[in-house]
């Protein structure tokens, strides 16, 4: 079973972060440019929040707020759930399913940011594992 650390090691995209004082517009533009669904909000290299597509829809768009004037800290999710690098994919998937998360920051023991995993990252790993098991069973049955 793969760990979150192994998934992070395979990622090639740079980590995308914004500051609490950045505009929501600039955060949304970064997310659009990089084709990602969330950015971590970082202050002095520490995670202080997460800003997601859901925040855009529920807190910005639906309330008719001006993204050019609104600051990220005003609408970000402050109480961020995160995972440790030694957690297994199944544990993270269970947490995401239970809490309806699509992104989880990865922090080490000192709360340093190591990366972020998405539901897509984890599902891709599970599909690969299941495909391998199926191939092995087919080979066993056919031999």
The span from the CA of 104 to the CA of 9, in Å, is 16
Sorted by where each starts, the structural domains of the chain and their CATH numbers stand as 4-142 (3.10.580.10)
State yes or no: pLDDT of 131 exceeds 70.
no
Confidence of residue 132 (pLDDT cuts 50, 70, 90): low
pLDDT of 59 reads: 84
What is the pTM assigned to this prediction? 0.86
Buried b (16+ CB within 10 A) or exposed e, 69-106: ebebbebbbeebebbebebebebbbeebeeeebebbbb
């Amino acid at each position: 079973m793969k760990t979150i650390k192994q998934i992070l090691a395979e990622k090639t995209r740079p980590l995308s972060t914004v500051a609490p004082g950045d505009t929501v517009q600039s955060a949304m533009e970064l997310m659009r440019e990089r084709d990602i669904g969330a950015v971590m909000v970082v202050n002095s290299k520490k995670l202080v929040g997460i800003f997601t597509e859901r925040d855009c829809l529920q807190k910005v768009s639906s309330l008719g707020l001006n993204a050019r004037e609104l600051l990220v800290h005003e609408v970000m999710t402050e109480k961020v759930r995160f995972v440790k690098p030694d957690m297994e994919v199944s544990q993270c998937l269970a947490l995401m399913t239970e809490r309806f998360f699509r992104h989880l920051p990865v922090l080490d023991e000192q709360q340093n940011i190591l990366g972020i995993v998405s539901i897509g990252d984890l599902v891709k790993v599970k599909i690969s594992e299941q495909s391998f098991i199926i191939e092995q069973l087919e080979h066993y049955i056919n031999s």
